[in-house]
Amino acid sequence: MKQKYQIEEKGNEQLLGKDCKLYGVTVTVQGQNVKGTVWVWQGLPLKSSMNIAGNTVVEEVIEIREGAEIPKEKFELPEGINFVEVKPQM
């Protein structure tokens, strides 16, 4: 993955009170390589920032609720939907 997306570590930064690792990434969007930054906390991306065609696109978690109860029905698949586990290729 590091080679495919040209991932490079860029240091650490606080986000929502969490110590995040910053990673520089390069992804292909509509045939063009786009560079961006991703803030990761405990394996979870909390924020990403990309510059696409002169516009900055930011996606960011606005709240973290650790230990929150999640209703069981949030994990139930609708009837007729089958679950298939896919293992990432390295």
Domain total for the chain?
A: 1
pLDDT at 89 over 80: no
| Residue 4 pLDDT > 80 | no
**49 within a domain of the structure (yes/no):** yes
pLDDT, tens digit (0-9, with 9 covering 90-100), for 14-25: 999 999 999 998
Comparing CA positions, the residue from 73, 39, 85 lying closest to residue 58 is 39
For residue 60, the surrounding DSSP H or E stretch is strand 55-60
Write out 25-57 in H/E/C secondary structure.
Answer: EEEEECCEEEEEEEEEECCEEEEEEEEECCEEE
**Is 17 part of a structural domain of the chain?**
yes
Domain span at residue 29 reads 8-63
What pLDDT, on the 0 to 100 scale, is given for residue 1? 66
Q: Is residue 90 part of a domain?
A: no
* Model pLDDT for residues 6-58, shown as the tens digit of each residue: 889 999 999 999 999 999 988 887 788 888 999 999 999 999 999 888 889 99
CA distance 67 to 13: 23
- Residues 41, 15 contacting (CB under 8 angstroms): yes
- 69 part of a folded domain: no
Domain contains 86: no
Query: C-alpha distances in angstroms, 75 versus 66, 70, 72, 79, 85?
Result: 18, 9, 6, 13, 15
pLDDT at 51: 87
User: What predicted TM-score, i.e. pTM, was given to this entire model?
Assistant: 0.68
